Structure 1
Amino acid sequence: MPLWVEAPSAVALALMSVLEGYRSAGDTLADPAPYVAVIASFAALGRHRYPRAAAGVALASAALGALLPLLVTLYHFSSRGRLREVWVFLGIVLTAGLPWLAVALTRGQPLSGGRLSNWTNASFGNSVLIGLALALGMWLGSRRRLLEALTDQVEQLRVERELRAEQARLAERSRIAREMHDVLAHRLSLLMLHAGVLQLRGEGMPPATVERIALLRSTAGQALDDLREVLGAMRSEDRPAGTAGAAGAHGAAVAAPALQDLAELLGEARAAGQLIESTVSGDAGSTSTSHRLAVHRLVREALTNARKHAYAAPVAVRVHYGPPATTVEVVNGPAGEAFPTSGGPEELGGARTPGGYGLIGLAERVAALGGHLHAGATGGGWRLAARLPVASLDLSTAAASREAAS
């Protein structure tokens, strides 16, 4: 407690202890009991830094008949879980009555008055007060330790959630790197293939042009090797059929990475029993492969979440391929039936990110393309919307890819 709270409490304790010590001394101030009680009351302020010194003064006060400072000391030690010291203090208090009992018996004084009243007439009331102080201290100590444990647990869960979110972001970055590896490897393989064709038909070309074509082919091959060296470690061990590779000296073209068509994805979801209303506009071929991969991932994740959490709810899918931007919006109605036990999210294509961190991976992918992602509840359902800006470079790259493929 702050000092401005403990200081008035110590003053109030001192006043009550002086009165208790005064009565214990036989209604006289010529006895040290009232003064020791005052010292013990103010010594309780230092019980946190000097607990044993404060306890010693409180024991002296209790031996002289003022028990209140000792109650504060017992409460403090029991709230800190130091029960061994508590039992030692109680033993000292009980033993402290023996000298006063011996003096009273020697002088023939009554056992019901003076300092012996704490151990005779008032023993039951003092025992109740001591028991209440111990019970209150142990309860508050247990409550404080419980709150500390819960706080540590909440902090641990927060750190674990941050680590899982970071793991999801890193996993999405690795997935993007693998996809870009496939895309770039395919483009470089096409470049090497066309350069090789030009070399075979370069009989009528000037020597300088033939030399430049050979340099172009060798540079593309070196770039492809460098790409594999940098990003190849991120790829899975089981490469799917048609993974991009070097055309090399054999001159064989390598197919582009497999990208499931959006209409095929929607068809699989409808076949799984989802009610889907889709609107797809714009020219998908006018956007880059990275944009189409992002659109596919966004729609797949949204359909998987809708199937998992609101299986019977209708889903509206709206996709528009830019320019100036590619937009994706998936809205499902209020939650319906639970996810069927016979199926799983994998039926919609691809594996789910464990722990419900798929949206974090989507946000990472959309941010990498300079876009924005919004996901949240709306009208009892759920809405996922993304906007991916289409740059002029993406348009020229997509156009060049279509020309090369043709």
Structure 2
Amino acid sequence: MRRREDFPWAAYGRRALILVLVLNAVQSASVAADGAYLTWRTAVALLCGAALLVRRLPWLVAPVSTTVATGAWGWPMLPLLLVALFDLAARRRPGWAVCCGVAVMVANSSSPEPESLWRPQQYGSTLFLLLAVVGGLWVGSRHRLVELLNSQVERLRVERELREEAARAAERSRVAAEMHDVLAHRLSLIALHSGVLATKSDALPEPVAERLALLRTTSTEALSDLRDVLGALHTPDAAGTAPVLRDVRELVAQARQSQHVELDIAGRAEEAPAAHRLAVYRLVQEGLTNARKHAAGSPVHIRLDYRPPDTTVEVTNRPGTSAALAEPSGFGLVGLRERVSALGGELSAGPHGSGGWRLAARIAHHAPDRQGSSRT
């Protein structure tokens, strides 16, 4: 809703007009006093101008003061009275404006000719008073119409946002249902059959048994992650359905069965907020996945620092001896960048060294004092 403060040019124009009218009244007072400026009429003109300029005064002060001054003085104070009547009409007080106009015409009817509002034209001043009231009524109606239209536009905007939010919630529910139908059944089958095969590990070679155990653990965790994601999709406010926090060391231990991984950790994970720890887990997971897909056989170095004032993550790898057969999606880094940006951090990913790759992120936070670092 627009207010008078939304139109500073209108407020400045009104103030400039009042100052000009006050100066004109002061000049008229000086002419009537044979060039003297320090007269009671000058004081009256300044007081009436101040009453019109100071917005914190009671609304009746300006019209009453200008009415009394115009009734006693006449034409020199009439412009200031017109401004006061215009304001009254614009503020939906036309009755008060008419009363002030009638009062000033009655009070000035017996004034001498130089100050009389009835001369040189008998109804000229009355016409000015009517124009001021009608103009104030029109401007006030226009302002109220603009405010009404602005409120309607704001209401429509809020309704549109609510409809969009409802549409997004419906889409999240639909996506959750589709993900459940497509992924949950297959992951359950993988976990089930890998578990059955793991029970017969005595008859299998040790590397195969280890891979089966890793497959069963990974599929079980994937089901847990899927439940977390489905819960977040079903719930408009996903804050209450955040995925369970996992230790990065477990992720690295699993990756070491097929990759050479070095992990440096500074500080304790508890020093960082839960949202940061979850982001660290996803960043390391994405870095290991990309190294395994695009630089198979390459050693990976991971550096984590949970200590304030920033949580930092850096995953680097050298060029691999071969590349895994995997179709790149191209959306992993996009999602990570969005996650880190939502936490107020920065993410960078690109070539590093001689054909290597570096994934790094820094997320600011407030935490207790720094602790010592450990190397795993």
TM band (smaller chain):
0.3 to 0.5
TM-score by length of 2: 0.45
